[in-house]
Amino acid sequence: MMIRGIIFMNLALIFYTWAVFSGRRQGLHCKHLIIFGIGLLCDYLGTMEMNQFARLHGKAPQWHHVVGVASLAGMAFHFLLALIASFLKRAETVNRVFHRVSLTIYTCWLIAFTSGAVAGMLRLHR
């Protein structure tokens, strides 16, 4: 269970990073939405695995739970913003706002990712 969660979270990191920085460099395209969607799905699956593990083996730290839920919601919002931008076909106008928001949400997501890894390692250390 924990291994699956770790794999999903690392896949989310790879796909989300790829989508954010590739989309920033090339502009928002359909392939970025697909990569982004895969990253979001992996993050969701990893979060569910980690939550199940935490329920069975002791609660995760409250601060990580809050940061994790907020970053998953931010990532979902980010994906919806990308989807709307693509469907409106106003990529230039939306791309400017999207990429400003993109780095902020990505940074928050990285904080949640890192805090989970640190919390997990500290728990194993004890």
Q: List the domain range (segments joined by +) for residue 110.
A: 2-125
* Alpha-carbon distance values, 25 to 32, 83, 86, 114, 120 (Å): 11, 18, 16, 25, 34
Is residue 125's pLDDT more than 70?
no
Q: Of 8-17, 37-46, 86-95, 110-119, which range is least confident?
A: 86-95
Spell out the long-range contacts of 51-59 with Cβ–Cβ below 8 A and sequence spacing 24 or more.
Answer: 52/1, 53/1, 53/2, 53/5, 56/1, 58/123
Q: CB neighbours (10 Å) of residue 28?
A: 24
Cα(33)–Cα(9) distance, integer angstroms: 18
When divided into structural domains, the chain yields a total of: 1
How does pLDDT run across 73-122, given as a tens digit for each residue?
A: 988 988 888 788 777 776 566 667 777 778 888 888 898 888 888 877 77
How does pLDDT run across 55-79, given as a tens digit for each residue?
A: 787 766 677 778 888 888 988 988 8
Can you give the pLDDT at residue 14? 96
Provide the token pair at 46: 């990893």
Is residue 124's pLDDT more than 80?
no
Is residue 8's pLDDT more than 90?
yes
Can you give the pLDDT at residue 121? 76
In this prediction the pTM is: 0.83
- In the 8-state DSSP scheme, what is residue 52? H
Can you give the pLDDT at residue 112? 85
